[in-house]
Amino acid sequence: MIADILTALYPWTKAFHIISLITWMAGIFYLPRLFVYHAEKAPPGSDMSSTFQEMERKLLRLIMNPAMIATWVFGALLAFTPGIVDWASDGWFHMKLLLVVLMTAYHHALGRWRKQFARDANTRNGRFYRIWNEAPTLLMIGIVLLVVLRPF
């Protein structure tokens, strides 16, 4: 019964998973860039800092968090759709899952850094955030290659 429903909804589930992922990744790429500008251009307590704090909060809470949750929900539905993942032999899927867990950990690190900015307690410079802005690119490349190529 549930397997039949998941199979029938597969194209919709896959579409919403991709939409959620694109939305999540847009935020994952943009929030650290806001941190760069916040760290470099907005002194603590300034009006500009307050503006950055509001932008960062809204991006994380209203866009990124729901998109991350939706990505996980639709991804789990895909994983449990019959015929999509062979849990015993699809090593690519286990590796992809590990990379998604790392992306989620990165997302939570962004949340912690945002809270530091919100308290005007950031101690990191723009270079730190520029470097960390590259991490999700590497994770995304790995995830896409694993899903498309299924190398093992």
pTM for the model stands at 0.93
The confidence band for 120, taking pLDDT boundaries of 50, 70 and 90, is very high
> Is the pLDDT at 106 greater than 90, yes or no?
yes
114 burial (CB, 10 Å; 0-12 / 13-18 / 19+) is buried
Collapse the DSSP code of 97 into the 3-class scheme (helix H, G, I; strand E, B; otherwise coil) and give the result: helix
Q: 144 is written with which tokens?
A: 């896409």
> Is the pLDDT at 35 greater than 90, yes or no?
yes
Q: What number of other Cβ atoms are within 10 A of residue 135's Cβ?
A: 15
Q: What number of other Cβ atoms are within 10 A of residue 63's Cβ?
A: 16
Distance CA 93, CA 86 (A): 9
> Each residue of 136-150: pLDDT tens digit?
999 999 999 999 999
Q: Mean of the pLDDT values across residues 116-140?
A: 97
Q: What number of other Cβ atoms are within 10 A of residue 75's Cβ?
A: 18
pLDDT value at residue 134: 95
pLDDT value at residue 19: 98
pLDDT value at residue 56: 98
pLDDT value at residue 88: 86
Q: Mean of the pLDDT values across residues 27-39?
A: 98
> Is the pLDDT at 126 greater than 90, yes or no?
yes
Which residue, chain included where needed, has tokens 């991490």?
A: 135
- Say how many domains are in the chain: 1
Query: What range does the domain containing 51 cover?
Result: 2-149
> Each residue of 46-98: pLDDT tens digit?
999 999 999 999 999 999 999 999 999 999 999 999 999 988 888 999 999 99
Distance CA 28, CA 21 (A): 10
pLDDT value at residue 87: 87
Q: How far is CA 138 from CA 71, 72, 131, 145, in A?
A: 18, 19, 12, 11
